[in-house]
Structure 1
Amino acid sequence: MNIYFLVEGDTEEKVYKAWLKYLIPELTRIGLPHQVDHNNYYLFNAKGQPGIIDRHLPDAIANIQEYSKYNYLVICLDAEEVTIDYKEQEIYKCLKSNNIDLVNIQFHIIVQNRCFDTWCLGNKGIYPLQAEISPLLDYTNYYDVSLNCPEIMGKLNFNTHAQFHKDYLKEMFKINNLKHYKITNEVIKEEYLEQLIARVQNEIEHLPTFQTFIEFCNMIKTKLL
């Protein structure tokens, strides 16, 4: 079983690497695509959009076709200001315009709705008992992510959803005396992932795109048994 992951940026590279170690420990990461052998995964950081779709997706498919040992191609990227369906159509439009045939490639799209920080807002363990200080108080009054699905939260008065969701997360970490630059260092911990999994197990309508990622990992885990 071999998997080729194409992820959007630095955060995803660091977090997915850690989470895969917990979720599918049978897989070993390789540094270059041609090193693929048995029960490996290769993870490529595309350094953002639109390059992940326009440039690196065709390159990833070319690598998979050349080395012929990969069973799955998984692309992980933010929805940003569009719907999940729109982002998926962007991807398939790219494949069509490049005359790319996905024969013998099992292709999975994981859209982080709205962004990776949105998923991180699902950890109830970082919520204060009561938000008493602005701007977190204002954010909670606008939309309480401890009660409602973070993926359908609006953007308040920010320019984009991602900007608001990131700042919401930053303010929650600040209440917990954690610096924003250390957020990724917290998210990569197994207990953080466990909190997110517990959230979607207890509230099955929450974080549906995060559930897509977990379901994919569970499916791979089953095939490795």
Structure 2
Amino acid sequence: MNIYFLVEGDTEEKVYKAWLKYLLPELTRIGLPHQVDNNNYYLFNAKGQPGIIDRHLPDAIANIQEYSKYNYLVICLDAEEVTIDYKEQEIYKCLKSNNIDLVNIQFHIIIQNRCFDTWCLGNKGIYPLQPEISPLLDYTNYYDVSLNCPEIMGKLHFNTHAQFHKDYLRELFKINNLKHYKITNEVIKEEYLEQLIARVQNETEHLPTFQTFIQFCNMIKTKLSKQL
């Protein structure tokens, strides 16, 4: 079982690497795509959009076709200001314009709606019992993500959803005496991932795109167990 992950940026590279260690410890990360053997995964950081779709997706498929040992290609990227369906159509339009045939490639798209920080807002363990100071109090009054699905939250007065979701998360980390630049260092911890998984188990309509990632990992876990 071998998987080729194409992720959007630095945060995803660091977090997915950590989370895969917890979720799929049977897989070993390799540094270069040609090193693939058995029960490996390769993870490529595309350094943002639109390059992840326009340039690196065709390159990833070319690598998979060349080395022929990969079972899955998984692309992970933010929805940003468009719908999940629109972002998926962007991907398929790229494949069509490059005359790429996905025959023999099991292709999975994981959209982070709206962005990776949105997923991180699903951890109920970082919420105070009652926010008392602004801007967190204003944010909670506008939309309480401890009670409602973070993925459908608006953008308040910010220019983009991602800007607001990132700032909301930043303020929550401040309340917990954590520096914003250390958010990734917290999110990579197993207990943070466990909080997110508990959220979607208890509130099954919340964080549907995060659930897509977990469902993919569970599916791979099942297939790996059958190899034994």
State the shift of 1:222 in Å.
0.2
User: In 2, distance between residues paired with 1:46 and 1:133?
Assistant: 38
1:16-61 deviation per Cα after TM superposition (whole angstroms, max 9, x unaligned): 0000000000000000000000000000000000000000000000
> What is the correspondence of 1:29-178 to structure 2 with a 5 Å cutoff?
29-178=29-178
State the shift of 1:223 in Å.
0.2
State the shift of 1:139 in Å.
0.1
User: In 2, distance between residues paired with 1:37 and 1:58?
Assistant: 22
State the shift of 1:145 in Å.
0.2
1:124-161 deviation per Cα after TM superposition (whole angstroms, max 9, x unaligned): 00001110010000000000000000000000000000
> What is the correspondence of 1:16-35 to structure 2 with a 5 Å cutoff?
16-35=16-35
State the shift of 1:74 in Å.
0.0
Q: RMSD between aligned alpha carbons?
A: 0.4
State the shift of 1:162 in Å.
0.1
State the shift of 1:94 in Å.
0.1
State the shift of 1:180 in Å.
0.2
What's 2:211 paired with? 211
User: In 2, distance between residues paired with 1:163 and 1:213?
Assistant: 23
State the shift of 1:95 in Å.
0.1
User: In 2, distance between residues paired with 1:146 and 1:24?
Assistant: 28
State the shift of 1:83 in Å.
0.1
User: In 1, distance between residues paired with 2:93 and 2:163?
Assistant: 27
1:102-143 deviation per Cα after TM superposition (whole angstroms, max 9, x unaligned): 000000000000000000000000001110010000000000
Per the normalisation by structure 2, the TM-score is: 0.98
Q: What are the ranges of 5 or more consecutive residues in structure 2 without an aligned counterpart?
A: none
User: In 2, distance between residues paired with 1:146 and 1:116?
Assistant: 17
SS in 1 for 2:110: strand
User: In 2, distance between residues paired with 1:77 and 1:58?
Assistant: 15
State the shift of 1:10 in Å.
0.1
SS in 2 for 1:109: strand
State the shift of 1:71 in Å.
0.1
1:169-195 deviation per Cα after TM superposition (whole angstroms, max 9, x unaligned): 000000000000000000000000000
Per the normalisation by structure 1, the TM-score is: 1.00
User: In 2, distance between residues paired with 1:202 and 1:64?
Assistant: 38
User: In 1, distance between residues paired with 2:131 and 2:82?
Assistant: 30
